[in-house]
Structure 1
Amino acid sequence: MAAHTARKSAPKKTLRGKIEHHIARKVNDEVFLTREFKKLGGESQVLRALREMVHEGRLVRLGYGIYGRARPSSLSGKTVLSSREGFLGVAQQALDKLGVEWEPTEAQSAYNEGRSTQVPVNPVVRVKGRFSRHLSYRNAELVLER
């Protein structure tokens, strides 16, 4: 009579744990799209987990299906984007991930090339082709030039 040996299996990861693991692995990414997580679980479960992470201050919702990496502010303790490039840099990374062709505006190019000392205040990009989503963070909204 063969004795059955109980095999200990690794604890099953929750969907939330899988999402957190995916985000932790993507060290250089500041932006995450919901479609990046669709292999991990159902859409409603993924959205619920992302909503919880936003509520906890681990992510910031930037637009429909677009989330940014967040951290607590060292000054106020409130949730802020963790990107060094700020909202404009995160918005540009989101456009890249969405496959939208864009280019800096003339004012950004002039500043970056040293032809102007005027720092562009509003986040603006020139979009080539069609794009109709709204990207925003707190009071800043990405302005699209055609």
Structure 2
Amino acid sequence: MNRQSLKSKVATKIIRSRREVFLRSDFDKLAGYDQIGRVLRQLISEGSLMKVGYGLYAKARLNRITGKPMLSAKGGFAQVAKEALSRLGVKWESSKSTAAYQAGSTQIPANAEVIVFERFNRKIGTDRFELKMVRA
């Protein structure tokens, strides 16, 4: 009878999921709060996860050139940030600069920017990117 370690259970759940962003509470059924925290820290140090905020984690992969972890989402940090806001239940909308880019403008927005319609005071970001939030 094979018993999986908690780390392999969490890693399997992350790999099989279609989501890019995970909340710490997604793993509550597997073990206790402290145990999950230790496993998530191990996965971050291995490069299969990145912490993007308080209790927010995103799938990661190793960059072929630098060997450092990077977000694995096809839309990059902007996709991860928007999915994180949706997972947290925050009402948001793309900002005008992002909407202009999607409409055909040639200027690429430097940072992900969203309009937040309710009270929200969390930082979402990585070591290189940070979500800019504008109040409605």
Same fold per TM (> 0.5)? Answer: yes
Which residue matches 2:115?
Answer: 126
Instruction: Report 1:34-53 matches (<5 A).
Output: 34-53=24-43
Which residue matches 2:2?
Answer: 11
Which residue matches 2:128?
Answer: 139
Aligned with residue 16 of structure 2, among 18, 25, 47? 25
In structure 2, distance between residues paired with 1:108 and 1:134: 19
1:122 CA displacement? 1.3
Deviates more, 1:43-52 or 1:15-24: 15-24
Aligned with residue 54 of structure 2, among 39, 60, 64? 64
In structure 2, distance between residues paired with 1:15 and 1:47: 11
In structure 1, distance between residues paired with 2:9 and 2:129: 31
Q: What is the root-mean-square deviation of aligned Cα atoms in Å?
A: 1.0
Which residue matches 1:4?
Answer: none
1:117 CA displacement? 2.1
In structure 1, distance between residues paired with 2:120 and 2:72: 25
Give the total of aligned pairs. 135
- AA partner of residue 124 (structure 1): E
Structure 1 stretches lacking a partner, 5+ long: 1-9
Instruction: Report 1:74-85 matches (<5 A).
Output: 74-85=64-75
State the TM-score, normalizing by the size of structure 2.
0.94
In structure 1, distance between residues paired with 2:15 and 2:65: 24
State the TM-score, normalizing by the size of structure 1.
0.88
1:94 CA displacement? 0.7
Same amino acid, percent of matched pairs:
41
In structure 2, distance between residues paired with 1:100 and 1:14: 34
Deviates more, 1:53-62 or 1:12-21: 12-21
In structure 1, distance between residues paired with 2:46 and 2:107: 37
Matched, 1:100 2:81: no
Could you list the runs of 4 or more consecutive aligned residues of structure 1 that deviate by over 6 angstroms after TM superposition?
Answer: none
The structure that has the greater radius of gyration is 1
